Amino acid sequence: MFNFMTCKRIGFIVNPIAGMGGAVGLKGTDGEAYLEAIKRGAKPVAPLRALEFLNSIKSTNFHIISAPSIMGEDYVKASTHSTRLIKIVGDISPPTSREDTIRIANELSKLVDILVFVGGDGTARDICTAINTRIPVIGVPSGVKMYSAVFALNPRAAAELLEHYLNGDVVFAEREVLDVNEEAFRRDALEVNLYCYLLTPIHTHLLQPSKTIYTDVDEEVSKEAIAEYLVELMELNIPYILGPGSTVKSICKKINLNCTLLGVDVILNRKLLVRDASERDLLEVVKTYGRAKVIVSPIGRQGFIFGRGNQQISPLVLQYISRDDIIVVSTERKVRELEHLLVDTGDEKVNSKLRGYMKVLVGYNRFLVMKVE
C-alpha cells in the first residue's frame, strides 16, 4: 500500500483556534465558544504547537503540501523545513471554519501519503469526515480535551512518529476518534461519544490511548477515602486548586461545596473561593496568597496530569507552584492501568520541573509512587 523508498508527501493542516478555550475556562472552542474565548482574552495555542512539531522533525526525505495561511502555510514557512513546502492547497477567509478543514483535508488526501493535523477532538472528527481511513494521519495535540487515540503524546512525539513512518518502521491501526458534547461539558455533564476511526501509524509509546471513564461502587468508595484523607490534612489560609474530575471533586462533596465537576475550582479554609476558574483567576490567587496547592487526577488510560482538560492550570500558573505542593490522586484501579504519568503543558521548562517520580494518593493515607514523563 505504501512505498517507503520514495520521498514522501506530507499533508499539513492546522486548526488555528484549537485549544484557545482551555486557559479561559471554556473547555473547548466549538461553535460560538471561539468568540467568547476571544472576549476573555484567549491566546492562540495551535501555532506554537505546529512550529514545535515542524522544528522537531529531523528527517529530510519528505515534501510538504499544506493548507493555506494560518491553517498551515504560515508555520511551515516559519519553520526549519520551509524549503520542503512544494504546494499550497485551498483558499480560506478568516475566521476559519470546520467546513474549511473538511474541504482542504479532502483535497490534501488526494495528493499526499500521510496527513498531519494540529488540533483537538473536534478537528479529528472533521478530518474523519473528510478522509475516513483513506490515508494515514498523525494528530498533533493542541485542543482542550483530546480524548481520541489518534494524537501523539506531544508535538515532539508526533515528529518522532512521523520519522518512524518515513523510515518504514511502523504498523498501521484504525484508532478511535472520540469527542464530548461541549455544551453539556460546560454544564458539567460528560457525554463522550465514539464518532469514527482514523488510520494511524503506530510505534511504541508515542500515541496516547483514548480516554476511559470509570464508574462502579468500588471506585466511589476509593474516592470517598481519598477525599476524607485530604480534607483532614488541609492547611489553613492556603488555597487549594482543584483540577477536573470526580476523584478530585469528591473533596467538594465531602465538605458540601458546590464545585464544578469538569472545571477548575479553588477552595480556601474549606470554603469555595473561585468556582470554574480561568488561568487569570488562578494567577490572581497565587499572587495574592503567595502559595497554593494543586490537586489533580490523571486521565483514565492516558495518564496525563497536566495539559489535557485542565489548561487553566497553565505553565504561567505552574511556575508559581512548588512541585511539593502538587498532589496527585487516583483510584487504585485507574492508576494500576497506567505505566506512568504524563505532562504536556506546552512549556518544556515546566514539563521538566514536573518530571521524575511523584506519590499518588489512592486511598486513606495510601500511596503509590509513579514516574512522570
pLDDT cut 90: percent of the chain above it = 72
Task: Say what the pTM is.
Answer: 0.78
User: Does residue 271 carry a pLDDT above 60?
Assistant: yes
Q: DSSP string covering 266-295, please?
A: EEETTEEEESS--HHHHHHHHHHHS--EEE
pLDDT averaged over every residue in the chain: 89
What pLDDT does 178 receive? Answer: 87
What pLDDT does 2 receive? Answer: 42
Q: DSSP string covering 302-316, please?
A: T-EEESSS-TTS-HH
What pLDDT does 313 receive? Answer: 96
pLDDT (tens digit per residue) in 2-18: 444 478 999 999 999 88
What pLDDT does 211 receive? Answer: 63
pLDDT (tens digit per residue) in 43-62: 778 999 999 999 999 999 99
What pLDDT does 53 receive? Answer: 98
User: Does residue 39 carry a pLDDT above 80?
Assistant: no
* pLDDT band at residue 27 under the 50/70/90 scheme: low
What pLDDT does 220 receive? Answer: 86
pLDDT (tens digit per residue) in 115-170: 999 999 989 999 999 999 999 999 999 987 778 999 999 999 999 999 999 999 99
358: left (phi over 0), alpha (psi -120 to 50) or beta: beta
Within 8 A by CB and 6+ apart from 32, the residues are none
pLDDT (tens digit per residue) in 61-114: 999 999 999 999 999 999 999 999 999 999 998 788 899 999 999 999 999 999
Across residues 294-321, what is the average pLDDT?
93
**C-beta separation of 144 from 33 below 8 A:** no
CA distances (Å), 214 to each of 218, 246, 297, in order?
A: 10, 10, 13
Distance CA 243, CA 309 (A): 9
Alpha helices in 234-266 (DSSP H): 246-254
Q: Give the SS3 label for residue 363.
A: strand
More confident residue, 215 or 201: 201
DSSP designation for 244: S
User: Does residue 203 carry a pLDDT above 70?
Assistant: yes
What pLDDT does 371 receive? Answer: 95
Across residues 195-218, what is the average pLDDT?
78
**C-beta separation of 153 from 342 below 8 A:** yes
User: Does residue 184 carry a pLDDT above 70?
Assistant: no
**C-beta separation of 362 from 226 below 8 A:** yes
Residue with cell 460528560: 190
Provide the pairing of β-strand 8-14 with 62-66.
parallel
Q: Which fold has domain 8-202?
A: Rossmann fold (3.40.50)
What pLDDT does 212 receive? Answer: 59
